[in-house]
Amino acid sequence: MPKLDSYLFREFAQATFAVLVVLLIVSLGGVFADVLRNIAGGRIAAGLMLSQLGLQLLNYLPLILPLGLMLGLLLGVSRLYRDSEMPVLASIGVGPRRLLRPVMMLVLPMVIFIGMCSMWLGPWARNYSQQLIEAGNRSLLVAGLEPGRFIELPGGDGVVYVGGMSTDGRSMSRVFVYRQTDERLDVTTALSGNLEVDGTERYLKLNEGFRVEGPLADGRDYRLMRYASNDVRLPATEEEAKKDDPELLSTVALLSDPRRKAGAQLHQRLTPPLLALAFALLAIPLARSSPRQSRYGRVLLGFLAYLVGTNLMWMGTDWLSKGKVSLALGLWWLTVPLLAFSIWAYLHDGRMRKKRLRRVVERHA
């Protein structure tokens, strides 16, 4: 590898890696907030927090990586202009086209990895995440209930104590439940119980016990009941996804699925790597600036282009699923013109400025 290519590749890779680290940290904070919100609402078991955090982050990689690649290249190339390295390179015959080799050394592996994330890793993460949630909603162990400890009920509706529990986390013995609702307390005890799921609803089915209900403040309005069976409702879970949901199907399965939603999902998975390639090529001419010119305005412009492209991708996917756009057209109306414009802008980078300079010289000659 020539020293120039090695140097430029190292500069572009370092800038891209730094941007990706920042984007992943920001995205991790957003994903963490969403997971915590679902755990606090009782829709996801607390024991699944770390696994859901990692799986959700994998699901967002096809959206994060193209932005990181474009901003990394934009910052890397603009630094060369700011430090007057690009004019020096141009003086020895190294123009924007000569940058294609080190740029592609970084872009092509990234585009391949983005394609793998979009077409294989992301769908697998969504499917596995849904399986964990469904299994966790049927298991008291995953929900955080442990024998011999007072545990807050999912959703913060009360406290439960379980004396013993089966190995599969579905049956329990010597149960104590304390709940507080509408300024009244509710204490329930039972010899045994088990977890039952009815759609999105979950219940602790308690057997052979007592229930005491009364006011939190002063008063004698207490009721004591002895029951053979009593159901304690837990916070509702998210609706279980259907097995034929296109978002959970593999890319190979989508190829043979005739449904419009499946076709829309297939085009959505094919689009991120193409957008990444287009944005990466567009970053080179977009980074052109004078040494004293601020480079952050170009970063904002690149980020705006990314937002427009991704929003058009989501809108196009919705149009495909609703039949407003034919499946034969797919999302090619977005990716092909954007790729063509990016290639044209890359190949003509610097030429338009040279023409303007030539006209100015001829005018003053």
What are the tens digits of pLDDT across the range 221-263?
888 888 888 887 766 555 555 677 888 888 888 888 888 888 9
Residue 117: the pLDDT is: 92
Q: Considering the domain boundaries, does residue 141 fall inside one?
A: no
Q: Comparing 60 with 91, which gets the higher pLDDT?
A: 60
Residues 159 and 200 in one domain: yes
> Across residues 136-156, what is the average pLDDT?
64
Residues 19 and 117 in one domain: yes
- Give the integer Cα–Cα distance in Å for 65 and 87: 30
Among 98-107, 170-179, 289-298, 308-317, the range of highest mean pLDDT = 308-317
Contacts from 32-38 at CB under 8 Å and sequence distance 24+? 38/238
Residue 350: the pLDDT is: 57
Q: Considering the domain boundaries, does residue 142 fall inside one?
A: no
- Give the integer Cα–Cα distance in Å for 148 and 24: 40
Q: Considering the domain boundaries, does residue 144 fall inside one?
A: no
Residues 258 and 349 in one domain: yes
Residues 253 and 352 in one domain: yes
The DSSP bridge partners found for residue 161 are 150, 176
Residues 294 and 224 in one domain: no
Q: Considering the domain boundaries, does residue 205 fall inside one?
A: yes
The parent domain of residue 184 ranges over 150-234
pLDDT band of residue 217 (cuts 50, 70, 90) is: confident
Residues 120 and 247 in one domain: yes
Q: Considering the domain boundaries, does residue 246 fall inside one?
A: yes
pTM to 2 decimals? 0.75
Q: Comparing 334 with 154, which gets the higher pLDDT?
A: 334
Residue 192: the pLDDT is: 87
Per the CB < 8 A criterion, the answer to whether 275 and 313 are in contact is yes
pLDDT at 104 over 70: yes
45 phi and psi angles, rounded to 5 deg: -65, 145
Question: How many domains are there within the chain?
Answer: 2
